[in-house]
Amino acid sequence: MSPSTITAPGLPSRESVGPLGVDIGELEVVFVAADPPRTGSFYCYERSDGRGSSAELFLDETIEVVLPAGSAVRRRRVRARRLSVADAITVLRDAEERDGSASAVCWSRALSAGLVLIGRGRLYPAVSPDGFDAWMLGPLTAADRTLLDAFAAALPPAGNATPVLGVSPVAISSPRYLVRAMWDALADTMVRTQAAPLVAGGGLFAETLAQPAASLRGWLEDASSDLEGGADVALRIELGEERMARAVVQVSSRIDPSLIVDLDAVFGAPSALQARFGDDVEAELLRTLRRGARFWPPLEGLLRQRVPGALDLHEEELADLLGEACTTLAEAGISVLWPAGLVSDGVKLEASITADLGRVDESGFDLETLVAFRWQATLDGEILSEEEVDLLAEAKRGLVRIRGKFVAADPELIIRLRSRRPHRLSAIEALAAALSGSIEVEGERVGVVVGGTLRELASRLASFCEDTSDEFVSPEGLVAELRPYQCRGVAWLEHMTASGLGGCLADDMGLGKTLQVIALHLTRIANVDGTTLVICPTSLLGNWEREIRRFAPDVPVRRYHGATRSLDDLLAGEIVITSYGVARREAAALDAAGFWLVVADEAQHVKNPASATARSLRRISSPARLALTGTPVENRLSDLWAILDWTTPGLLGSLESFVRHVATPIERYRDPVVTERLARTVRPFLLRRRKTDPEIAPDLPARTVSDVPVALSAEQVQLYEAEVREAIDAIEKKDGIERQALVLRLLTVLKQICNHPAQYLHQAGPLVGRSGKLAALEELVPVIIDEGDSVLVFSQFVECLSLIEARLRDLGIATLFLHGKVSAKRRSAMVDDFQAGRVSVFLLSLKAGGVGLNLTRATHVIHYDRWWNPATEDQATDRAHRIGQDRPVQVHRLIAEGTLEDRIGELIEKKRELAETVVGGGEAWIGRMSDAELADLVRLGRGE
C-alpha cells in the first residue's frame, strides 16, 4: 500500500496556515526517538530553498542537523522548533491539503495511520530499554507491516535528518526505525490522559513522567511475546504405531507465512534461517513453551529436552487436548493441529421418532396424542450400533476409539446414553420436530430422525399446495368462478381443517380470503353438516353477510350481534357471524353451540395472547380453527406465535420458549439457522400469497372494486333518525325550489352523520368509537401500509378529511392532505412526495384531487363517502388507475349500512342507465323524488 493513499480519517481540514500560525509548506519535519517513547519529539526546521520568512516567529532555536546524502552525510545549521508528539498532531494534520513539504506530508500521514491503529486497540504495555514503563503500538498485522515499510520508503532525506543534540556520536537512524519509533511514541502519549492515573489506580503506565518498571520486564516480555514475535507455535498430533500418539512442535514464520518447519530444525540453524522467524527466535520459542506449560503441565516434558522437539502422549493427555486443553493452549499462543480423519467431530445425539398416527389422509388428527422418542447416536452421520453405544456409555475416560477414530465422550452425552429412557411429547410437538428437523430437549436443541406415518404426514404437509392444486373442484352452490390461486387456497384450507390442524390464510388484501372461506364452508358441508362461526371486527359484519349472500345464496347466515342476538335453532350448514366484542363476552355460549369451524378474520386482534379477547377465543372449542390476516407479523414474531398457537396449539411451543429460542435470535441477531428452522415449521400452516406473485398477477383484474359496509354507532343512529324525522316533516310542507333545497340539505347532513358525528356537530373530537366508517378506515389503512402499498383517500368534505388526518396522526401514520386552498406549488410538491414513496397516505377532497393528478404509486383507493355520480367517483379512482400504472388497483367504497348511502348505491348499480342521466346533475335528481320515495330512501334500515 502506498503512503499516498493514507489519509487522516476524522481530522478536519484547515487552511494553509496551521493552528500555530505557521505555513507548514515552509518547514521540513523530522522525528527524534527517545526513551521512554513518549519523550520522543518532532523538530520543524527551515527549508534550504530560500522559503521560510513567514516562519521566523515560529522557529525559536538554532540546531545542527545531519542529512543523508547518498552514501555520505552533510551537516547544516538551521532555525528549528521542537514539538511534542501531542503538538505535532495538531501542527501537522492536513499537511497535504495545506501544501506542506514532502517530509511534513509523509509524517502527517504516518501520524494519521498510527492514530487509526490506536483507535482499533492496537497497543500493549512494555518496558523500555532504559527500564521505564511504556506503551507500544502493536501487534502489527502483515498489512500493518507493509504500511510501515511503505512509509519508510516514502520518507524523504529531509524527513530522515538527525538533529545534533549532544556530544554523543551522531548515527543516522533507518527510516523504518524512525516510523516505528514514532508510532510507539504516539501510543505511549495518547493513553496518558489526566484521568488515566485515577482509572489505573496509580502512576505506572498512566503518568506522563517516566516510571521505573525494570522489575516487570520479564513478565511483560513473556506476556507480550506472541504479540510482536516473529513465530507461531503449534503442536502437530501424530498417531504412533506402538504409542498412543505424540505431539511434534511445529513453527511457522509470521514474516514469511510459507515457511513452516519443526522446532528442531530451527534450534542451532544458520542465522539466515533464524532471521526469517524474527529476532532471538530460540528465546522467543522457549518463552512460548514455558507459558504453555503453565496452562497445560504436560508441556514441561518438552522443556526438559535439550531441543524441545516432540512429546509422547498418553490417553489421558490426548483426551485433554481433545477437550478444554486445546482451548487453553490457544490462549497461551499454541495451536493444536489434528491429522485428517484421526479425530471425529464427535458423537451426536438425535431424537428418533417413529409414530403410527393412522392413515395420512384420515380426518381428525389428534393434536394431543402422545408420541415417544428415543435417543439415537451418530458418528460423522452414521448410526452407531447398540454395542458401540454401550462402549461410549461405559467410558471411564473422556476418549474412546471407535471405527478407527478417537471420539471425545462428552459427560452429559454419556449420562443420556446410559439412561436411554424414552421421552414423550404430543403429536403436534412431534410434527413440529419433523418439519423443522430438530427438537428442544432439556434446554438443548438436537436433530430428529422421523419414521412411520409421521414422516409421511410431514412430507405431505410440506408439499400439499404444489401436489394437489389441480385436484380441487369448485363446490356446488358457489356463485363465483374461483381463480387458480383461490382453488389452491381452498384445497389447502380443506386439507388443514379436515385434518384438525388449522392454519392461517395470510393472502394480501384483495385476493379474496372471504370468498375462499365461503368456498371451504360449501366444500365441508357437502360431507359434514357442521356450522361455521366467523369472528371479525364489528365494521366487517355487514361485509361478511353481504359476501355470503352474494356468493352462497343457499347458505343460511345470521349475525350474532345486537340486542336481539340468538343462537337458538341453528340450521345445518349455517354460518354465524359475530364481533370480537361479543365473542369476548359470550365465549361460553358460542362454545356450547358446537361449531365445526371457527374463523378469526383480521386475526391480528388476537396477537396479544394475554388479552381478554385472545383468552376468550381459546375457550371456543371446535375441530378446526382458521385465522385470516394480511399481516401475520405486524411488529414482532410473537404476533405470529399468538395466531398459530390459536389455530394449532403447541406447534411453536410455549411463548416463553419461543421468545427465548426463536424470536430473540431472529429479531436481535438475524440468526439464519433459526430463521430457516422457523420457516420450515410454519410454512405448512401459513399460506401467504401476494399480488405481485408471478402465478397470481395474471389472474388479477386491472381494477377491483369492493364495497365495505359499515355499521353506524349508537350516536350516529340517534342523530340520523332525529334528522330524518325533522326534515321529512318540513319537506312535506314545502314545494318547488324550497323543497328541493331542504332535500339537498338533508342529504348533506345525513352523509356528514354517516361519516362522523364530529363532522356533523363541527367538533374537533373526540374521534374514537363514534363512527363505523372511521373504525373501518383504521382497520384498512394500517394493513395497506404494512403490505408496502400506498393509498388515496377521497371525501367530498374537507372537514371530514381533517378529522381523518387527525386520527391517523394519533396512530402514527403520516399523511398528505390536498384540498382547494392548497397552492399550485405545494400541490406539485405533495404529488412528488407521494410518487417518491416518502408518504404512503394521500387525503384528497373530491373536487381538488378528483382530476388532473397522476398518482400511479397508489395501489388502493378509498372512497370514504359516496358521490351519487359514478363517473365522478371513477375520475377520482383514475388518479391511480391510469396509463403508467403497472400494478392492480383495489378500490374500497365505505358504505354506511342501512342508510341512504346503501340504497343509493344499490340503485346506481342496478340501474346504470339512471346513473348515466345523472352525469353533471349531482344530487339534483333526488330532489325530484316524491315524499314517499324520499322517505323510503333515507329511512334507517335495521338490517336482518
Burial class from Cβ neighbours inside 10 Å (0-12, 13-18, 19+) for residue 231 reads buried
| Least confident span in 562-576, 662-676, 793-807 | 662-676
Helix (H) or strand (E) holding 803: helix 798-810
The pairing of beta strand 72-84 with beta strand 61-69: antiparallel
Strands (E), 201-346: 231-238, 245-253, 260-262, 310-313, 334-337
Predicted confidence at residue 10, as pLDDT, reads: 33
Amino acid at 187: A
For Cα atoms 852, 703, 836, give the angle at the middle one, nearest 5 degrees: 50
* 6 has a pLDDT exceeding 60: no
Say if residue 306's pLDDT is above 80: yes
Beta strands in 565-702 (DSSP E): 575-579, 597-601, 624-628, 686-687
pLDDT (mean) for 667-671: 83
Q: Which residues of 115-130 are buried (b: 16+ CB within 10 A; e: fewer)?
A: bbbbeeebbbbbbbee
Rounded Cα distance between 771 and 512, Å, is 26
Average pLDDT over residues 723-736: 86
Burial class for 813, CB neighbours closer than 10 Å (0-12, 13-18, 19+) = middle
Buried b (16+ CB within 10 A) or exposed e, 633-644: beeebbbbbbbb
User: Which residues lie below 8 Å from residue 330, measured CB to CB, with a gap of 6+?
Assistant: 336
3-state secondary structure of 773: helix
H-assigned helices in 378-451? 386-393, 411-419, 427-436
Query: At 826, is the secondary structure helix, strand, or coil?
Result: helix
Tell the burial category of 324 from Cβ atoms under 10 Å away from its Cβ (0-12, 13-18, 19+).
exposed
| 196 has a pLDDT exceeding 80 | no
Question: Which tens digit of pLDDT belongs to each residue from 149-168?
Answer: 899 999 998 888 888 876 55
| Alpha-carbon span 514 to 626, nearest angstrom | 12
Model confidence pLDDT, tens digit, residues 364-397: 555 566 676 677 777 777 788 777 777 777 765 5
pLDDT above 70 as % of the chain:
79
More confident residue, 905 or 151: 151
Cis upstream peptide for 888 (omega within 30°):
no
| Grid cell digits, residue 527 | 360431507
Instruction: Pick from 52-56, 150-154, 452-456, 574-578 the range whose average pLDDT is largest.
Output: 574-578
Q: Span 829-833, mean pLDDT?
A: 88
Distance of CA 772 to the CA centre of its chain: 36
Tell me the pLDDT band of 913, cut-offs 50, 70 and 90.
very low
**pLDDT for position 360:** 44
- For the chain, which domains are there? 3-212 (no CATH), 229-337 (no CATH), 347-457 (no CATH), 469-687 (3.40.50.10810), 706-938 (3.40.50.300)
How large is the greatest C-alpha to C-alpha distance in the chain, in angstroms? 126
Give the least confident one: 34-48, 76-90, 688-702, 722-736.
688-702
Question: pLDDT tier at 871 (50, 70, 90 boundaries)?
Answer: low
pLDDT digits (tens, 9 = 90+) for 470-506: 567 889 999 998 988 889 899 999 988 888 889 999 8
More confident position, 197 or 368: 197
Q: What is the 3-state secondary structure (H, E, C) of 487-508?
A: HHHHHHHHHHHHCCCCEEECCC
670 pLDDT above the threshold of 90? no
**Would you call the peptide bond into 36 cis, given omega within 30 degrees of 0 as the criterion?**
yes
Overall average pLDDT of the 407-432 stretch: 71
pLDDT at 286: 85
The model carries a pTM of: 0.54
Would you say residue 661 has pLDDT above 50? yes
Please, which pLDDT band fits residue 85 given cuts at 50, 70 and 90?
Answer: very high
* DSSP codes of every residue in 239-280: --SSSSEEEEEEEEESSSTT-EEEGGGTTT--HHHHHTT-TT
How many other CB atoms sit within 10 Å of the CB of residue 131? 17
Res. 906: pLDDT tops 80: no
Among 385, 357, 374, smallest CA distance to 446 is for 374
Q: Coil, strand, or helix at residue 791?
A: strand
Tell me: the pLDDT tens digits for 311-335?
A: 988 877 887 887 788 888 887 788 8
d(Cα 81, Cα 79) in Å, to the nearest integer?
Answer: 7
CA triple 377-379-381, angle to 5 deg: 95
* Bond before 139 cis per omega within 30 degrees: yes
Residue 98's pLDDT is what?
75
Burial 48-81 (b: 16+ CB within 10 A, else e): eeeebeebeebbeeebebbbbeeeeeeeeebbbb
DSSP 6-56: ---TTPPP--SB-TTS-BGGGEEEEEE--SSGGG-EEEEEE-SSS--GGGT
Residue 202 confidence class, pLDDT cut points 50, 70, 90 = confident
Q: How many helices (H) and strands (E) does the chain have?
A: 37, 33
Q: Taking residues 933-944, what's their average pLDDT? A: 71
Say whether pLDDT at 55 is over 70: no
- Could you tell me whether strands 889-896 and 860-863 are parallel, antiparallel, or unpaired per DSSP bridges? parallel
Q: What is the residue-averaged pLDDT of the chain?
A: 80
pLDDT at res. 107: 94
